[in-house]
Chain A
Amino acid sequence: MTAFVLKRLGWMAITLWVVFTVSFFLMWAVPGGPLDQERALDPQIEENMRQRYHLDDPLWQQYLRELSSALRGDLGVSFRLADFSVGEIIAQGFPISASLGIVALGFALVLGMTAGIVSAVRRGSAADVGLMAAATVGIALPNFVIAGILIILLVFLWPLFPAAGWGTPGHLVLPAFCLGAPYAAYIARLTRTGMLDVLSQDYIRTAYAKGLPGRTVILRHALKGAMLPVVSFLGPAIAGILTGSLVVEEIFAIPGLGVHFVQAALQNDYTLAMGLVLLYTTLLYTMNLLVDVSYAYLDPRVKLE
């Protein structure tokens, strides 16, 4: 197990380096640069700025300089939010995106799994059809539509929650719901499929044959096996949900990382975009590692090597 984790960490370092390199050159390949803005700069002033940011150095020199400072843990200063270093931006935005993500995820898991179990157990019933229809709608509806409907209902018609902002638990509810809804829908469908699969297995029949009550069979014996597809989905989903969502953060004015992600790419903010890509890679990799480890925990047949 330790050897497995160490090996995977080694691969993670290599992956990070590859991602760094590819992103670096991709960013330089797109038209425009971090200094481009609506107002064209006077050529002299632009020259001064290019010198300040070393943009005129040969590309390989810039690459080596960026790589060595990234290795030292220094991600540089953002071009667009010039008063802050990339580290500061991540340190401020990540806890916010993450806590919103955790609430959204908790909500998605509870709702999704309950719905999935119910429809698997009551297969073909009205409850099954209704829940799965709701899940399909949840997947199909973009979250800005859900957000719009919720704001009209729960902010304006029935003023329960604040319209936007950050700072109280009330500020969390609507965005977490919007963020979690599509995940809940996916989880519901995955749980249902996994559950149906498991319910037809021999060991479940054995459990029933032993005379165990239905509740115990489903929650104790079937659920564990049914969770495997959900868990593999959760790895990348957690990485995605923790780094924030552009749409939800913009609509509810939440100072998380999601907006930075898109803005940095659009505005050619090389340093910030790079920092976020590396953060996302690390998270995605870590989550996948955790998923693999938890397989061994959930399914005794899986051995980590």
Chain B
Amino acid sequence: MKAMLPYVLAGLSLAGMVWALAVGRLPPADFTFTNGDEIKTVDPALTTGQPEGRIVWSLFEGLVTWDPQTLEPRPGVAESWEISDGGLIYTFHLRPEARWSDGTPVTAEDFAWSFRRFLHPATASQYAYEMWYVAGAEKYTSGEVEVGDRVEVELLERPPGALPFAGGKILRGKLLAVEETGDDGKGKTYVVEIGRRRRRFRKGAGPGAGGVEPCRWVLYDFRRVGIRTPGRHTLEIRLKHPVPYFLHLMGFYPMSPVNRRCVETHGYPAWTKPENIVTNGPFHLKFRRIRDRVRLVKSPTYWDRENVHLDVVDALAVKSYTTMLNLYMTGQADWITAVPPEIVPDLIDRPQGDFRPIPFLGTYYYLLNANEPPLDDARVRRALGLALNKKQVVETVTRAGQQPARSYVPAGISRYVDYRPALCEPYDPEKAGRLLAEAGYPGGRGMPRLEILYNTSEAHKAIAELIQSQWKRNLGIDVSLANQEWAAYLVATRKQNYQVARAAWIGDYLDPNTFLDMWVTGGTHNHTGWSNPEYDRLIDAAQKEPDTRKRMAYFHQAERILMDEMPIIPIYSYVTQSMVRPYVRGFYQNIQDVHPLKYLRIDPEEKARVLAEEGLE
């Protein structure tokens, strides 16, 4: 027995290994791309970033889709639409042939239900604010109700015959009063008139005293939110104010519909499992292997299946940029979504011409804490901006063709919308010195030591070191560097516990608003403490202005103020990072680096030629 032990252990290990490898064996895919870090979810409402977006766009289809070249809205599930009432009402006509993967038609009701789920506080979608342009939507998500509002009360019990994960029964009525109860002041009793009866509700489990009924939620009545379904295939959306990019936004992946029956049968997260999920996009979810791959296969039920060319697609979860490139170079990946920054110049020089970065909708910048001296003085902030040689940053550190940024909104946006960013002054160390002297620090004398905070990363460090030396040389000021892990860095910037901090912003949609609305007083992302009433007024005016030219003029004026007062120093605009094999057709470089799989196809002859040329296969 004793002597057997080592052999038994060895045998078990071997069997385990064979099994682990056998599970790993797969038939190859037609098209493989690296999708960055493992995705958080395939539930559109819970997505957080681009990697999830690429998958969600393949599995689901929204009302509109984005043109792969121009990013303009194109018909998706909606075959046509009208905009009326001065840009306030959008009427979408859904194509009757659109199908879910279980064969049932996609209806307007599906969208209304999905949007409701998207906005519901229980879903806690982080992109919900993108739909707050819809009348009443913000109020619905916030759960704040006022006396006199029409409200919906969701009871604990489900209606008879409901699916296992359906919501509770809904009662609708008028809110008569809100009584503060409970010893901590947190408990609220809602008095609601329902069918001429006054009923009292309280969120929570058990029944309370005095005929108080328990309920799950008391929310603003969803029927008052501007989403209606006048017909089986007609969806009407009413906005608070005109939003020129609303159509574009409807193609954004969190706005994809989900299948009510599927979600209510299995609940989250079980409904996202390949065996349960019901989707309506060009691809189906075949399987997911954590930190390995998501495999997609062409959908046989998708309405436009004739125009989907790829049959099997693998999205690899690869985090390391070097590994991405290794996979690409050995022919195991056809498209990689990022490249190692150190060798970008060599990649640009490749004779194959498969890496051609173009301007991307993102800005790398420094936040200045405008609440604390010496950075509360706009002259000091401007001096720091003037003394920062951005050209040197992009030429010696980033080196991927990034453009030095003289505005916060990336200049590349002008190719897509009629907006010319307002520019800050170019690099001018002498003027910077004069401004600093005016502020009381001639030659940097008397200037308190500054600290640049960045999240731990070699790239950010290299940039910070360069800027440190530029400021020392040009202004004579001492700057120290501090790095923190991501989570700690986020907390420090949010609590304004910094002087100068590295930051970046990637636009969500093609409009200056996605960049400029964040700097209004008290904005969620305004960690500078900077505030300017005129700026706030201009942003507000722009958001309400239906006329495009006037609107853009407001934005321009606002950005002018931002660049003059300089609570942030834009450093460079990002460039796209995609590297793609030339045999992949239907792939177009664009400012959002968005490449829907639906339009991609492989040229087999070209593929054979390219791979043979590089000695692969």
Contacts and interface: CB of A to CB of B under 8 A. Distances in A.
A48 B491 contact: no
A33 B487 CA distance: 7
Given A52-B124, A250-B319, A297-B2, A32 B269 contact: no
B269 A251 contact: no
B327 A164 contact: yes
Contacts of A297: 2, 5
Interface stretch (A123-131, A168-176, A209-217, A278-286): A168-176
Interface in B258-288: 269, 272-273, 288
Interface in B424-479: none
Contacts of A252: 323
A267 B288 CA distance: 22
Contacts of A256: 291
B46 interface: yes
A255 B488 contact: no
Interface stretch (B19-27, B163-171, B371-379, B599-607): B19-27
Contact of B124 (A45, A159, A168): A45
B148 interface: no
B17 A163 contact: no
Given A251-B322, A255-B292, A163 B141 contact: no
B121 interface: yes
Q: Which 8 A-B pairs have the closest CB atoms?
A: A32-B487, A167-B24, A255-B292, A163-B326, A99-B20, A49-B124, A255-B291, A99-B17
Contacts, number: 165
Contacts of B571: none
A259 B320 CA distance: 11
Interface string A137-179: 0000000000000010001100100111111110110000000
Contact of B290 (A81, A156, A163, A164): A81
B490 interface: yes
Given A39-B525, A99-B20, A162 B487 contact: no
Nearest to A250: B320
A69 interface: no
B486 A266 contact: yes
Interface of B: 2, 5, 13, 16-17, 19-21, 23-26, 37-38, 40-43, 46, 48, 121-126, 128-129, 141-143, 269, 272-273, 288-292, 316-320, 322-323, 326-327, 329-330, 332, 485-488, 490-492, 494, 524-525, 527, 615
B330 A163 contact: yes
Contacts of B19: 95
A95 B16 contact: yes
A266 B487 contact: yes
B317 to A, nearest CB: 7
Contacts of A163: 323, 326-327, 329-330, 332
Contacts of A93: 290-291
Contacts of B291: 93, 255-256, 259-260
A165 B16 contact: no
A243 interface: no
A44 interface: yes
Given A40-B524, A88-B290, 7 more contacts: A31-B488, A37-B490, A42-B129, A98-B20, A99-B16, A163-B323, A165-B327
Nearest to A159: B330
Given A30-B488, A164-B327, A166-B292, A45 B141 contact: yes
